[in-house]
């Protein structure tokens, strides 16, 4: 490798950092504030759902969760929440936690202050207006983050939430595949990423009973992130 390639390596690494689904350079020293897993020791796991609310997916998902007797955490986009205000209230009334997933699901790596305000602050204000309560949780779209985004989250009193188990349900595999992925990956303290928006989610909804039974068989307890 030539010298110029070595010189470009740090820039390449930093450019990739916001897309890496685990802690990276600019998260050193932040402790447990960016939440990747729950505190271990209580056999707790959290089901989380991104990209909604979408009535065609979210409504049957709420029924599936109710049928299993568990609560989850929903990270909602502002644009969809604005169109489905009653559904947002239903999610919260059912005992689920609600967090912000940005206004338009745009990736926020190294964006201007104006973009961050629109995507984060405006979306949080909208959700708080709908629910009449403060929003504390924020999940960056695609898991993308940057120091500038983290500064804004600190200023807004928001905690960034990520995951340690990803089922890849946006690829729409059969339900049994999703169940297997979650059961293989989940452990004490896991935050499990699933979706109720941006595509058909019939397999995700169908997988819920199997996921719940499988984790309960491992003595896991379902909690919300609130």
> Which residues are tagged catalytic?
50, 195
What Cα–Cα distance (Å) separates residue 111 from each residue in 143, 153, 169? Answer: 15, 14, 28
Rounded to whole angstroms, how far apart are CA atoms 131 and 79? 15
Q: Among 50, 86, 70, which Cα is nearest to 204's?
A: 50
Q: What is the number of other CB atoms lying within 10 angstroms of the CB of residue 1?
A: 7
Q: What's the chain's length in residues?
A: 226
Rounded to whole angstroms, how far apart are CA atoms 217 and 49? 22
Three-state DSSP class for residue 136: coil
Rounded to whole angstroms, how far apart are CA atoms 64 and 162? 23
Give the sign of the dihedral formed by CA 14, CA 19, CA 25, CA 30.
Answer: positive
Rounded to whole angstroms, how far apart are CA atoms 214 and 139? 26
Q: Among 109, 161, 113, which Cα is nearest to 138's?
A: 161
In this structure, are residues 65 and 222 in contact, taking their beta carbons and an 8 Å threshold?
A: no
């Amino acid at each position: 490798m030539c010298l110029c390639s070595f010189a470009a390596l740090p820039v390449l690494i930093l450019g990739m950092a916001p897309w890496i689904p685990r802690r990276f350079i600019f998260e050193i020293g932040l402790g447990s504030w960016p939440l990747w897993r729950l505190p271990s020791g209580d056999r707790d796991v959290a089901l989380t759902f991104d990209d909604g609310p979408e009535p065609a997916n979210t409504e049957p998902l709420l029924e599936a969760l109710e049928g299993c007797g568990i609560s989850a955490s929903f990270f909602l986009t502002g644009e969809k929440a604005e169109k489905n205000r009653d559904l947002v209230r239903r999610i919260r009334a059912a005992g689920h936690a609600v967090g912000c997933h940005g206004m338009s699901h745009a990736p926020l790596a190294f964006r201007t202050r104006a973009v961050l305000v629109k995507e984060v602050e405006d979306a949080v204000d909208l959700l708080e207006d709908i629910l009449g309560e403060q929003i504390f949780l924020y999940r960056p779209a695609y898991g993308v983050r940057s120091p500038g985004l983290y500064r804004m989250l600190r200023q807004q009193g928001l905690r960034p939430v990520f995951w340690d188990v990803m089922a890849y349900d946006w690829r729409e595999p059969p339900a049994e595949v999703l169940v297997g992925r979650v059961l293989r990956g989940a452990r004490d303290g896991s935050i499990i990423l699933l979706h109720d928006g941006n595509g058909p989610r019939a397999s995700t909804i169908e997988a819920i009973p199997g996921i719940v039974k499988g984790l309960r068989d491992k003595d896991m307890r379902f909690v919300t992130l609130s």
